[in-house]
Amino acid sequence: MPLDALFSFANLAVLPGWLLIAVAPRWRWSQRYAALVVPMLLGPLYAWLLVTNWGSGGGFGTLDEVAQLFQNRAVLLGGWIHYLIFDLFTGAWESRDAVAHGIPRWAVAPCLVFTFLLGPVGLGLYLLVRVAWRRHLDPYEAR
């Protein structure tokens, strides 16, 4: 299968997970799809891309080596899939954690959007919302 088709497949595979954790975070299949099905579906593709293209140049020792590594389109796609899996896994955790702490969906939704688009920025925003929400519920708990 061409790399562009695998890229489209991977992107489409994560979208239902994002929609489910944003709209139906309490439904058990939302978490199962986002935190289990997607990693189990895309993880082998990620591994295959890296294993079959390892040794094509580059590495992780310097920024130049990383740049060289990602000049290989198959390795670049593997890196993209890595982001897709971990960002969705992080979003699923945010969604689960918000339910456990009674944080309303409207407060979590922007965090999920940022996690989808900018990974660590969304996680940081969620952690701020979480702290603010806990202080809102118990202003003395954070002290």
How many helices (H) and strands (E) in the chain? 7, 0
Domain count of the fold of the chain: 1
Give 3-state DSSP helix, strand, coil % of the chain, rounded to 5: 80, 0, 20
Judged by DSSP in three states, 45 sits in: helix
pLDDT value of residue 55:
83
Mean pLDDT is lowest, of 50-54, 66-70, 114-118, 135-139, for: 135-139
- Inter-residue contact 115 to 122 (CB < 8 Å): yes
- Do 71 and 58 contact (CB within 8 A), yes or no? yes
How much is the pLDDT for 54? 84
Q: Please, what's the largest Cα pairwise distance for the chain? A: 57
For residues 58 and 78, the model is more confident at 78
Q: pLDDT tens, 76-121?
A: 999 999 999 999 999 999 999 999 999 999 999 999 999 999 999 9
The amino acid present at 44, given as its one-letter code, is P
Q: Tens of pLDDT along 116-140? A: 999 999 999 999 999 999 877 655 5
Task: Answer yes or no: is 51 within a domain.
Answer: yes
Residue 82 inside a domain? The answer is: yes
Could you tell me the residue range of the domain that residue 101 belongs to?
3-137
**Is position 74 within any domain?**
yes
Give domain status of residue 142, yes or no: no
